[in-house]
Amino acid sequence: MIYLFFLVKISGQTDTGKQLIDTLPGNYYRLHTIERDGISLPEIDIKEVVIIGRPSTARKFPFYRYQRLIYNLKKVYPYALVVRDKLSETNDQLMKIPDDKGRKKYLRQFEKNLFGEYEDDVRDMTITQGKLLIKLIDRETYNTSYDLIRQYRGNISAAFWQGIARIFGTNLKAEYDPFGEDAIMEIVLIELEAGNL
């Protein structure tokens, strides 16, 4: 019986010289262990996926309008961030000035500098980009453009600029609604802020 055992060829893992090729080269995921309710579970970090549903199946998704929105937001969004930063800077400076006369003088000089720096850029914007900028200012400052003008320039100036805006079909009182009519804009802005667009 022992003799039969030695006659049988014993084969284990042999190196055939071939290397197995991974079907997903370069796609590696690192597992993290997360403790939940006393149990250690493996977890993988994945990118967030945004799904946009179509309003109706009768119409196709307007990709041209979506691409145009991305283009316009890329052009206008930096100016909304400038408005937010300048507003914060202005409020900090106004807190340091004790009298109304000094505040008015500071605001006049600040407005003159601001117009000198950004007037040409704003004049080159289209009406659509202007509408987007008005909404983005509300998103970034939590104040409508009308409220900002009224607060810093007065009611008469705010009413005047609202009238001019109405002539061009815009509204300085427009508010940003990230869960309603501006939901797609919010998705694009999140992607812009993440650096994905």
Q: Which of 6-20, 58-72, 79-93, 100-114 has the lowest mean pLDDT?
A: 6-20
- For the cut 60, the answer to whether the pLDDT of residue 147 exceeds it is yes
In total, how many domains does the chain have? 1
Contacts of 150 (CB under 8 A, 6+ apart): 157, 158
Q: Tokens 């983005």 correspond to what residue?
A: 136
CA distances 4 to 9, 12, 106, 161, Å, are: 10, 18, 104, 103
pLDDT for res 76: 92
Exposed (0-12), middle (13-18) or buried (19+): which is 47, by Cβ within 10 Å? exposed
**Domain assignment of residue 175, yes or no:** yes
Structural domain span for residue 140: 63-194
pLDDT for res 3: 47
**Domain assignment of residue 55, yes or no:** no
pLDDT for res 71: 92
**Domain assignment of residue 189, yes or no:** yes
pLDDT for res 1: 44
Instruction: Give the pLDDT confidence of 33-90 residue by residue, as tens digits.
Output: 888 888 888 887 777 766 666 555 556 667 788 889 899 999 999 989 988 888 888 8
3-state secondary structure of 35: strand
**Domain assignment of residue 54, yes or no:** no
Nearest in space to 66 (alpha carbons), one of 191, 195, 194, 193: 191
**Domain assignment of residue 7, yes or no:** no
On whether the CB atoms of residues 138 and 175 are closer than 8 A, the answer is yes
**Domain assignment of residue 47, yes or no:** no
Kindly indicate the confidence band of residue 180, based on its pLDDT and cuts at 50, 70 and 90.
Answer: confident
**Domain assignment of residue 129, yes or no:** yes
Model pTM score: 0.66
- For the cut 80, the answer to whether the pLDDT of residue 103 exceeds it is yes
- For the cut 70, the answer to whether the pLDDT of residue 6 exceeds it is no
Which DSSP symbol is given to 76?
H
**Domain assignment of residue 24, yes or no:** no
| C-alpha count within 13 angstroms, C-beta hemisphere, residue 33 | 3
